[in-house]
Every structure is written in C-alpha cells, then in structure tokens.
Amino acid sequence: MKRASQQQMEAAVASFKSSGLTQREFCLRENIKLPTFSYWYRKVNVFSATPVVRFTEVTAPLPSVGLEVVFPNGVTVRGIQDLYQIRQLI
C-alpha cells in the first residue's frame, strides 16, 4: 500500500480488528508494512480510548458536623465548616 491517508489507515485498523488475524498476517494479506500498520494501530486506539474517570462524587451517609484536620504531630481540629479556615490552619 503506498502512502495511505489517515482515513484509509483507520479503515484498515477497523478491518483488522474484525479479521481475527495477527497484525503480521493482516499486513501480508493487505500489503501494508508492519511498522506502518503498528504505528496507526496505536494511534487510532489512543484517540478512541475511553477517558479514565479520575474523580468520583462522594456523599456522606449522615449529615456532616464539619471537617476535621489532623496534623502530623497528632493534634486534631474538628468541626470546621469553611475550607478557608482549613487554609489558615495549614
């Protein structure tokens, strides 16, 4: 295959996924250089990957009576209602 477009390589990757062949077998059958196909396979999969969820909402089962700060020396301050107060303590 001579200098394929991005669209052609994306189609080739999709075809490969449903072929049941190894990358080497697929490339031999389609006359594509293996390193070129491997590059496009990784590139297509990176852009189509599902984003990783990094944050999850957490809800308290009981009403909160405030926040708590525990310092490295063991001192604990409880009942803080405002994040600004925490910033001043730290």
- Quick: pLDDT tens for 14-50: 999 999 999 999 999 999 999 999 999 998 887 665 6
Query: 57 with 32: CB under 8 angstroms?
Result: no
Nearest to 16 by CA among 33, 47, 24, 3: 24
Computed over its alpha carbons, how large is the radius of gyration of the chain?
Answer: 27
**Cα atoms found within 13 Å of the Cα of residue 31, Cβ hemisphere only:** 4
**Which pLDDT belongs to residue 82?**
72
Output the average pLDDT for the chain: 81
The CA-based diameter of the chain, rounded to the nearest angstrom, is 70
Separation of alpha carbons 42 and 76, rounded Å: 50
Taking the C-alpha atoms of 30, 26, 45 and 14 in order, what is their torsion angle to the nearest 10 degrees? 60
Domain ranges of the chain: 6-48
Q: What is the pTM of this model?
A: 0.50
